[in-house]
Structure 1
Amino acid sequence: MDLVVHSASLPHTDPEASLAFYRDALGFEVRSDEGDAGGRWITLGPAGGTGTSLVLEPAGARPGLTTAERRTIAEMMAKGTYAAITLATADLDALHRRLRDAGAELAWGPTDQPSGVRDCAYRDPAGNLVRITQA
């Protein structure tokens, strides 16, 4: 059976701020932008790519969540402990400069980790951790 990762989801709290981060600062292309006053689902991915997509979905929009669960998600997002994604680039320092110049919130790095990985991390506008490693 051939199986690939089609998409991964991260919550957002402000679709325009998320677009400024993922599209404008990271350089992802918008593959779809759907929704209404009830929320927007934005699908993005690396420019020119046809592989895995990132779906930004309204925080707490999943069916079946209780009010208490939505409150916990909001609290965790505010602390930056709810969701994360790891990206890879051939030129970590150049991407770090681009994100820094765009005003993105740096969490750490660039750092040479004891494991041999060189990485940095930023928080997106919703508080999600976006770790970026040197490919």
Structure 2
Amino acid sequence: MNLSVSLASGEPIYQQIKEQIKEHILSGRLREGEALPSIRNLAHDLRISVITTKRAYDELEQEGLVASVAGKGTFVTEKNKEAIREVRYRELEEQVKEIVAKGKALGLSKGDLTELFELFYGEVRE
């Protein structure tokens, strides 16, 4: 697993790690039952605090994406399709909020935004 952090991004380091690992899990690059690097090894490799790495792992565990086994490590949990759908849905909601805010800042009406969605909805292929 290849992770990187940026001190200049403005996003907390633990959040950067969490989001990168989450993306690896949701995309299937990290599979069910696969072990994550140990907290200490990941902290060493990224040259960050063990506490920062632990916070990222704790938040992933709270979201149900990983589980810690005492003395063995942290593993990707069996994927619950509904849980993954919920995570992605929440992310989509945040993106839509940003789009609406940007549209309002440009002076677009609800109808203008709806037209944009309708235009692009037909063009996007799954």
Shared topology, TM-score over 0.5?
Answer: no
**Which of the five TM-score ranges fits, normalised by the shorter chain?**
under 0.3
TM-score by length of 2: 0.25
TM-score by length of 1: 0.24
Question: Which of structures 1 and 2 has the bigger CA Rg?
Answer: 2
Q: Which has the higher strand share?
A: 1
Q: Which has the higher helix share?
A: 2
Q: Which structure has the higher relative contact order (CA within 8 Å, separation 6+)?
A: 1
